[in-house]
Every structure is written in structure tokens, then in C-alpha cells.
């Protein structure tokens, strides 16, 4: 597994923190950590182990106060970090 520092630097996600709430493809998860290949490891309540998820695929990230930090669900915010990620999905 890679560290969250990798995501902060190379995926340009300086706001990501361990344990933050995330919804991936409509499924609520938590305990975000660095995953493999620059992805995020997400612990879903119905899964025994973490799931390796792409950080920009149908993901919504929440702050501790419940406000949305980033919304990548259904391509709503491809350029939130100033880069175009659309080529990833081709």
C-alpha cells in the first residue's frame, strides 16, 4: 500500500485525510487510507477487508462536519484540482 502522501502529491489531493468519510458509487465507506497504484483503500461496512478504489471514480469525499470536499460522482467535478482527468476513462 502507498501512503496518503502519495495521493496528496501525485493525485493532487492535499485535502485527503485518513479515516474521512467517502461514498463510492453510492456506497458509504470510511477509514480511507492509501491504496495500491495511487488509489484509495476504502473500508465498507459490509466488507471484511478494504477495497482498492480509484480516487476519482464516482467518489464523494466529506469533511468531518459533513460538508462535501470533492464530488467526483458521475463526472461532476473532473477539473476540481485544476487537471482534466477525463482521459483516465477512455
pTM of the model: 0.77
Residue 31: inside a domain, yes or no?
yes
Q: Is residue 84 part of a domain?
A: no
3-state secondary structure of 82: coil
DSSP H stretches of helix in 1-90 = 4-10
Domain span at 53: 4-77
pLDDT digit of tens for each residue in the chain (90 aa)? 578 888 888 888 999 998 899 999 889 988 788 887 889 999 999 899 999 999 989 999 999 888 999 998 876 554 444 444 444 433
On whether residue 82 sits in a domain, the answer given is: no
CA dist 75 and 79 (Å) reads 9
Question: Which three cell numbers, joined as nine digits, stand for 14?
Answer: 492535499
In a domain, 39, yes or no: yes
* Domains: count for the chain: 1
**Residue 88 falls inside a structural domain:** no
Determine, yes or no, domain membership for 37. Answer: yes
69 inside domain: yes
Instruction: Examine residue 51 and state whether it is found in any structural domain, yes or no.
Output: yes
Amino acid at each position: 500500500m502507498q501512503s496518503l502522501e502519495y495521493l496528496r502529491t501525485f493525485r493532487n489531493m492535499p485535502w485527503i485525510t485518513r479515516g474521512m468519510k467517502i461514498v463510492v458509487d453510492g456506497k458509504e465507506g470510511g477509514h480511507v487510507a492509501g491504496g495500491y497504484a495511487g488509489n484509495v483503500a476504502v473500508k465498507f461496512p459490509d466488507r471484511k477487508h478494504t477495497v482498492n478504489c480509484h480516487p476519482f471514480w464516482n467518489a464523494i469525499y466529506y469533511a468531518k462536519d459533513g460538508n462535501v470536499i470533492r464530488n467526483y460522482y458521475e463526472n461532476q467535478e473532473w477539473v476540481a484540482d485544476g487537471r482534466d482527468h477525463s482521459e483516465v476513462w477512455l
